[in-house]
Amino acid sequence: MWNILQKSRTAGWINMCGIAGYIDKFHHAEASVINRMLTRIHYRGPDECGIYVDKNMGFGNVRLSIIDIEGGHQPMPNEDFNLWIVFNGEIFNYIELRRELEEKGHHFRTQSDTEVLVHLFDEYGEECLSKLNGQFVFSIWDRKKQEMFLARDRVGIRPLFYWHTPELFVFGSEIKAIFEHQDVNREISVEGLAETFTFWTTITPDTVFKGIKECPPGCFIKIKNGNIKVQKYWELNFASPNNYYKGSFEDAISDFSELFKDSVRIRLRADVPVAAYLSGGLDSSVTTAFIREIEPDILQTFSVGFTEDEFDETYFQNVASEYFNTKHIGFKCTSKEIADNFPKVVWHCEIPLLRTSPSPMYSLSKKVRENNIKVVITGEGADELLAGYDIFKENKVRHFWSKDRNSRIRPLLLKKLYPYISALQNADTNALKLFFGYKLDETGSPIYSHLLRWKNSSNITNHFSKAIQEKLKSFDPYLKLFSDFDGKLDKLDPLAKAQYIEISVFLSGYLLSSQGDRIGMANSVEGRYPFLDYRIIEFCASLPPDYKLKGLNEKVLLKKLMKGRLPEEILNRPKQAYRAPILSSFLGEGAPDYVREVLSTGSLNNTGIFNPESVAKLLDKMNSGKSYSEIDNMALTAVISTQLLHKQFIEDFKHLNKNDLINCTIRSESDYN
C-alpha cells in the first residue's frame, strides 16, 4: 500500500512524539515516575527524551525528530518561562501562524512548530485551537496560575488518555504510560468490552480499562486545584437539506480540488523524506497524484499484499505504481506473520480487536521504517467523507427495500455491494431477507444505518461468561450513544446521519487508532491524512448526498475529479474493503503456540471473561470445515485479542525498574537562555 517523496523541505517543525505527566495535589512530582511513563512509550519518540518538573507537576516528551531536528527540544517554554509545553503532533500551518505572531511582537528561539504553539497559546489562550490546522495533542503548564491545559485535535488523529482522583491527575499518549504511575489501578471494564463488541470501539470518553478516560476528539481539558473541566471546541456538523452547498457539481469539484491540493501541500512540510501509502485503491492513488503534481520528484512506493488471493490487491498496487512511475517495494504478508505479530499489535492498540487488519499494517509500517522513513501520507478519511463504504450503500438499499418489504427484487441489490463475499453471491432472496432484514422498518431511528452491523458485532457478547453477563444485565451500550447524539441527527438526510456515526464512532475510535496512530508509532512512523484536514471535513459535510453517493456509485465527486488523471482500472474498480486472513492465521497450519494457550479452558477460566464451553463450540465449528460466518471470524479474533490484552496489562504487567529506563534530560530555564 504505499509511497515516498525523497526531498528535504522547508525547515521548521517538530515531530511525532509521545507525552506523559501528572499533577499530585499533596506531593511533589518525581522525575523518576515520569521517566518510567515515557520509557513505556519510547518507540513513539526514539530520538530524544525530556522532562520538566515544577513542584507538584511534572511532564515529559519522547521525540521522533521530523522538523527542526537540532532545535526542537521538549519540554519547551515561552519567552518569559511561565508557560511550558509538551506536544505530540504537527501544526501544518505553523509557518503562517509564526508570521502572525512575529507581527504581534513575539520572538522565537527555534524553528519548531512546538514553539509556535506555545506562543499562540500565550497570545490567544484556548481560542488558539480554532487557528490550528494539524493533528495533535499537547499539554501546557501555566506556572503562575498553577493550571494545566490539554487539547486534542478535531477528529482524534492523535491519542490522549487520563486517569484522576480528587488528589491526582495522570495523563499520557498511551494507557500503558499511565499504568506506570504506582497509584493507578489496572482493571478491565466489562462495560467497555460490551461497547467494543458492539461498536468496534468504546464510546468516548470511556475506554476498555476502568477509570481510564480519553480526551474526546475536538476537546480540551483544564486542571486546577484538583478540578477538571472538559470542553468541546469543535463540532462535526453536517448540513441539513436547506443548508447544503449552493454551488453546482462542477463548482464542488473545483472547490474540493483547491482545498485538497493545499491540504497535501502543507503536509509535505518536513526535514525528512515523506512517504505516501499506495494501496491500489482510489484514495491513496488520489493522494499520490496530488503529491506528484506538487513535488514532481522521485516517488518510491511501498505496498503490502497477502499470500491468500481472496485478500490480495497486489495487481492494483502494481498498476498504480507503474502509472506513477514509482520505485516500488512490495511484499506479501503471510497468515503466519499476521498471527505472529498479533500480540504486539494488541499491546500497541490497547483494546480488543475484531479484525486482524491492523497486523499487516504493523508489518507495513515496519517495512517503511526499515527504509529510514519516518513520515507517510495516507488516504484515510475519504471513505467517510465522500461515502465510499458499503455501509452507506447498504443503508440506501435498506431504505429503498423498506418501502416494499415484500419485494423479491430489491434485496438482490445487496449482492452488488459485496462481490468479494462468496456466501452472499450464492444467497437467494429469503437468505438475504434473513440476514439484511433486521429492523428493516425502523427507518426513523437515528442509527438506522448501523443497526445491522452493530447487531452482528454484538453477537460476540454471547460468548461472555455467566458472571460477565450477570454484571451487564442492566447495561445498555446504546443509551450513552443516544445521549451523545441528543438530537444532532434529527434534521439530516439518511446519508449524512450514517456519515456522522461512521466518523464520530468508527473513524476516531477504531480506524485512526488501531490502523493509524498506534500501528505507525509502534515502528516510529508518523501518518498524515490530507482528507482529514478540517477544511476538507467541513466542506464535504456541506455537500448534498448526490455529490457523494449517486445511485450506488460511491465517491462520485472524487471519481469525476480524477477522470483522466488515474488509470481506469483504479478509477472504476469496485470498492473492496481492506481485510486480512483470520481463520488461516489463528487455526491454520503453523499457528503460534500462544493461540492454543489463550483459548485453553484453563486460561479462559483464569481470565473469567469468556465461557470456555461457548468458545469450544466456536472452535469446533471453525475447525470442522463447515460453513462459518464473518461473525464467527470476529468472535474468534475478539476472544484471542481480549485474552492477550488481559494477560499483557492485568496479569503480567510489571512496573519498569531503574535498569530499564531510557535517558531523559531534565529541562530548565538555563537550557533555553
* The pLDDT of residue 387: 97
13 or 523, greater pLDDT: 523
| Average pLDDT score, the chain | 92
* The pLDDT of residue 176: 98
Any residues with CB less than 8 A from the CB of 621 and at least 6 apart, and which?
Answer: 628, 632
Which grid cell sits at 90? 504537527
- Residue 403 above 70 pLDDT? yes
Q: Are residues 199 and 254 in the same domain?
A: no
Q: Are residues 312 and 252 in the same domain?
A: yes
pTM of the entire structure? 0.95
Q: Are residues 229 and 273 in the same domain?
A: no
Q: Are residues 196 and 52 in the same domain?
A: yes
Q: Are residues 195 and 260 in the same domain?
A: no
Q: Are residues 115 and 67 in the same domain?
A: yes
- Quote the DSSP letter at residue 144: T
- 3-state secondary structure at position 140: strand
Site of grid cell 467541513 = 538
What backbone phi and psi angles, to 5 degrees, belong to 145? -80, -15
449 or 630, greater pLDDT: 449
Q: Are residues 18 and 156 in the same domain?
A: yes
- Residue 3 above 80 pLDDT? no
**Which tens digits make up the pLDDT trace of 309-347?**
888 899 999 999 999 988 788 899 999 999 999 999 999
Residues 191/197/201/205 CA torsion (nearest 10 deg): -10
Which grid cell sits at 355? 479484525
What stretches of 4-65 show up as alpha helix (H) in DSSP? 31-40
- Residue 426 above 80 pLDDT? no
Give yes or no for a cis peptide into 75 (omega within 30° of 0): yes
Q: Are residues 17 and 123 in the same domain?
A: yes
Is there a contact between 662 and 39 (Cβ–Cβ < 8 Å)?
A: yes
Residue range of the domain that includes 307: 241-386+501-571
- Quote the DSSP letter at residue 510: I
pLDDT, average across residues 589-606: 96
Distance CA 122, CA 306 (A): 50
In this structure, of 203-207, 272-276, 418-422, 618-622, the range with the lowest mean pLDDT score is 418-422
At 69, the pLDDT band (50, 70, 90 cuts) reads low
Of residues 390, 200, 350, 382, the one with CA closest to residue 277: 382
What backbone phi and psi angles, to 5 degrees, belong to 46? -75, -5
Domain count, the chain: 2
What backbone phi and psi angles, to 5 degrees, belong to 206? -75, 160
The last residue of a domain, from among 571, 605, 633: 571
Q: Are residues 200 and 257 in the same domain?
A: no
- Residue 532 above 90 pLDDT? yes
Identify residue 86 by its one-letter amino acid code: V
Residue 344 lies in a domain: yes
CATH code, domain with 138:
3.60.20.10
**Which tens digits make up the pLDDT trace of 369-400?**
999 888 899 999 999 999 999 999 999 999 99
**Which tens digits make up the pLDDT trace of 642-651?**
999 999 999 9
295 or 613, greater pLDDT: 613
pLDDT, average across residues 505-529: 94
Distance CA 348, CA 351 (A): 9
Share of the chain above pLDDT 90, in %: 80
pLDDT, average across residues 448-466: 97
CA distance readout (Å), 34 to 58, 61, 222, 664: 7, 9, 20, 9
- Residue 79 above 50 pLDDT? yes
Is there a contact between 317 and 279 (Cβ–Cβ < 8 Å)?
A: yes
Q: Are residues 327 and 194 in the same domain?
A: no
pLDDT, average across residues 268-292: 88
In order, the DSSP letters of 568-581 are: HHHHTSPP------
Question: Are β-strands 526-528 and 375-377 bridged in parallel, bridged antiparallel, or unpaired?
Answer: parallel
Residue 298 lies in a domain: yes
In order, the DSSP letters of 620-643 are: HHHHTTS---HHHHHHHHHHHHHH
Q: Are residues 117 and 181 in the same domain?
A: yes
* The pLDDT of residue 576: 78
Q: What sign has the CA pseudo-torsion 617, 619, 624, 627?
A: positive
Residue 567 lies in a domain: yes
Q: Are residues 257 and 119 in the same domain?
A: no
